[in-house]
Amino acid sequence: MPTPVAARYIGVSETKLRGLGLPRKKLGGKRVYDRVDLDAYADRLPYEGAQPEADECDKLFGVVAS
């Protein structure tokens, strides 16, 4: 997605998005962000307040501490 759309998608300004160093892809002469990369970035951000409850599968595979 183009920069303005990608910035709105994750809730930051275009300037902030460009400064995050996220990978972009070439689409003809344009540079676009992949939604998967934007989601991965957002998934790495820490939660504010209480952590969400981990399900049993996450615990078994070591995704979160038991």
- List, for residues 7-66, the tens digit of each pLDDT value: 999 999 999 999 999 999 999 999 999 999 999 999 999 888 866 666 777 777 777 654
Confidence at residue 58, expressed as pLDDT on a 0 to 100 scale: 76
Asked whether residue 8 is assigned to any structural domain, the reply reads yes
Asked whether residue 22 is assigned to any structural domain, the reply reads yes
- Domain limits at 7? 3-60
pTM for the structure as a whole: 0.70
Confidence at residue 51, expressed as pLDDT on a 0 to 100 scale: 67
Asked whether residue 52 is assigned to any structural domain, the reply reads yes
Asked whether residue 39 is assigned to any structural domain, the reply reads yes
Asked whether residue 66 is assigned to any structural domain, the reply reads no
Confidence at residue 47, expressed as pLDDT on a 0 to 100 scale: 86
| Closest CA relative to residue 3, chosen from 39, 33, 40 | 33
Asked whether residue 65 is assigned to any structural domain, the reply reads no
The total number of structural domains in the chain stands at 1
